[in-house]
A and B are shown apart, each in its own frame.
Chain A
């Protein structure tokens, strides 16, 4: 660590010595119509032929020796703008780009610089393109779109997981405006919690992510929300089968204070209650979800901006049985979801130094409430409460320091207080707790982090050399760990780049699923403890990237090695056997490895756009007491996957899109026989037991489907109407959702075994209607 600090210090001194005589230039890039910041806009400086990006707040800065500069600013989805500026001293200027209205392709000057960035596996799909690819139920879902990229596996069909390069779902860090989210699913995963209306930009790091990110092993899904239109009120109202939305944004004080409000729910779910009462006699069942987002942005002055952000999302599953005679009744309510509140402050110290402070509280809560009443059976009068939640109170501070055009520093620190709370209680009718064995455990943990990224740009070679040091304290145990990160971009010839990356990652929180099939809220987030060590991985990646005309071709390969993985013990569920000592049900010290090659050919804009992605990957796990200590394929190991995404803009009104997805079937474990084994020697008592084939040695049938959609837009002076028609799984391929192994009682009054393939989604047509004002 000491040598690392010395190196960093020397680099800093060296960099600083070359910082003189130059004039600094900084500002923000905004969308002209809304005042919304444009992230990752490219600023090409004509004199030096160098390019710079705006950061995740739309902020940029660079240095120049010349007093007159011609700057070409471009971004996907916006008209390119050329600005000529003459300046004598350090200057701040904001650039406004017009949103693209024609179907013409954008020529992004210095596009090769996107490839030059020393980050591997970074994917950014323009939001305009995301909107053109509706998912199931005609609901545009940003997660579903990113699932179509190479190296990404969705998990079970229709779910909102991002399982990246052989990692599990919990190894992806979901961040919205700098706030981590623990749970991103609605409707069992068919819709993500990210309402597309409010998203400005997404940066998806599926490879070695920079030192500013941490806490997860595989990838980072970094969502930037819109700030709200600072100039005029706009919004939309949308009706769909899966979700209906209302969205409004606008200025409270013009050019000073803006607001954004969005609400999304599933109205169809509410209708279930009266319908179920007809069919199920006295039982009312309904299911629905909602998302509520609110954000305020206050531009205090040129140097200071404040953001206040609030989110609450819940899924609600409600069953009520109340017959007229009132002899007995029960009520079952399950509510689960996220909520967060955050306050952010952007401050520009000077033209070279930009800071961001983020104070937040985020929580995932899962409440199950069951109340039973029977007028003649006292034991049936009880209520059961199962409340599991995990929450973080965090303070993050980051600095972007541009020393010169060749050397930049990104640094920061974070303090996070984690609370893991499990309460399972049972009360009698007089509210007296009657089950003393149920867990009621609260674990507090504290995490502090510092990081430093040194970003060098020497023309033909760019380098991001960084490290992240984090310490985690829980119940008298601490885990201080340094995580080095390195990524390098080398310009071989013209538009051909070679990138290499190495990263070491730590994950302090762990996710265990109690069900195999569905990502339901019965899953638990667990802290690292003295027994459960933090999960770790090392990743080595290499890739070649090239711009070929209007296309971009990339080939990436990787090798990942995991250690200290956890898994539920064979035959156990987390709280099934021993309520008071749940850690006994966890298998620890697991290892694993994954490797793969990813090919991507994409065209980002124009009349015809899309991508073709192929991935070959393998992922394996090894636990001492699972599969008799032998290596086995990971549950979502998918050797081959092939995705084609095409978007065709016929004219300004009509857009067609087609998505074809193919993947090798996921592995599963098949029983092979049953055997009579002795279980009580004293009574010579034998029982029948299932004997299984090696874990995950069988494969489900291969997965493929074709989705077609059409978006029809009709504009007039007052508003814009959008019809979105989608056909999911056009040729109705019966893809497996999961395989279930079970015994059935046959006609001969004996038991036999069968494997059942559950198919959830044959052909599903859907439609949605949106009116934008």
Chain B
């Protein structure tokens, strides 16, 4: 500021032989415009840590729970949060005690190799000697099946400069919605790319990488996270519904497209709580780094703690990418015409 004023003064004096009186006027103006703002630190204070539970269960997977704790804001979070040790994590199934989960690395898993099942009520009771008790309940909704999966290339925009090519496709499928319940769904799609070698040293192994998915179906009232689309059956309850979702293929170079083998469509039947949780994650994502957005209250179904204990079931179908490996020479102008 002072340098700026000094420079300004010398410049004006040299050019116009300005008097000190006028220069003082400029200082007053500058003072008013730029000297107002002051920034001060306010202490954040310390809060008692709380238990953080993360567990998403589905049939055919081993029962797994991650247990951590909230970390004070005055500490840095670059080194990650250590998982809680010495926690007693009891599992109840349909109100009957089943087992105490065993600690393995940074998680707690079923020592009896328990695979969760649909429609069972699971209850987790967690005791930490330092942080106290916390608990949560979860039910896995019944699986909804998808059928008639197909894929169509919509649009191809040629790369400009160093930018990636943009290839948009539409995935079509049918779901058989269960009439007796209010169902919530999550669709996400993975792309399987056969070993594609990029340059001499870099090898791309995109096996089942999730891809960008979105919808223009307004009746679904969908929540788009980028990696998945969540919606409810409120507009088609009990119907056999044909749905379409747009995807953007992953390909960092035009040439890599010919190595894409197939697309896997994952239809998850989730709970309303799952949808709310995902929405709150989406809303708060940017606050982690900028703090500029308004505060977001996270969905949590853990009593006396934070986090989630939720269930879902999943049906997967796949479709072959229209281009076969044998079509060695890839002529995108011709193909996407």
The residues of A with any CB-CB pair to B shorter than 8 Å are: 137, 241-242, 268, 271-272, 275, 278-279, 377-379, 516, 568-573, 577-578, 581, 584, 626-628, 669-682, 686-692, 694-695, 734, 739-743, 746, 748-762, 764, 766
Contact = CB atoms under 8 A, between A and B. Distances in A.
18 contacts: A278-B4, A279-B8, A570-B297, A571-B295, A581-B218, A671-B73, A677-B52, A677-B281, A682-B210, A686-B66, A687-B285, A690-B284, A690-B288, A691-B70, A750-B78, A751-B78, A756-B42, A761-B36
Contact of A756 (B32, B41, B81, B163): B41
B288 A695 contact: no
A758 B40 CA distance: 6
A268 B78 CA distance: 46
B47 interface: yes
A692 B44 contact: no
Given A679-B281, A748-B76, A752-B75, A673 B218 contact: no
Contact of B307 (A568, A677, A753): A677
B287 A690 contact: yes
Interface in B183-238: 210, 218, 221, 224, 227
A739 B43 CA distance: 12
Nearest to A759: B38
Nearest to A749: B78
A125 B56 CA distance: 64
Contacts of A686: 54, 66
B291 interface: yes
Contacts of B33: 268, 272
A278 B7 contact: yes
Contacts of B79: 750
B284 A571 contact: yes
Contacts of B45: 670
Contacts of B295: 570-571, 669, 671, 690, 692, 695
Contacts of B160: 378-379
Contacts of B36: 760-762, 764
B8 A673 contact: no
Interface in B41-70: 41-45, 47, 49-50, 52, 54, 56, 58, 66, 68-70
Nearest to B223: A584
A137 B32 contact: yes
A759 B68 contact: no
Interface residues of B, number: 71
Contacts of A762: 36, 38
Given A679-B281, A691-B298, A756-B39, A241 B28 contact: yes
B289 interface: yes
A675 B306 CA distance: 8
A272 B58 CA distance: 63
A569 B33 CA distance: 35
B74 interface: yes
B325 interface: no
Nearest to B52: A675
A755 B45 CA distance: 10
Contact of A628 (B30, B47, B227, B297): B297
B44 A691 contact: no
A516 B293 CA distance: 8
Contact of A741 (B81, B283, B291): B291
- Point out which of A377, A577, A627 has the most chain B C-beta atoms below 10 A from its C-beta: A577
B29 A689 contact: no
A766 B36 CA distance: 13
A229 B288 CA distance: 60
Ranked 10 nearest A-B pairs via Cβ: A571-B283, A750-B76, A673-B70, A753-B73, A692-B295, A750-B78, A755-B42, A571-B296, A759-B38, A678-B54
Nearest to A584: B221
Given A568-B294, A753-B73, A739 B42 contact: yes
B289 A278 contact: no
A339 B291 CA distance: 36
Given A675-B68, A689-B288, A758 B37 contact: yes
Given A271-B29, A674-B73, A516 B294 contact: yes
A674 to B, nearest CB: 6
Contacts of B224: 578
A579 to B, nearest CB: 12
Nearest to B42: A755
Given A581-B218, A676-B52, A678-B56, A571 B286 contact: yes
Contacts of A692: 295-297
B124 interface: no
Nearest to B1: A279
Contacts of A679: 281
B289 to A, nearest CB: 7
A746 B11 CA distance: 39
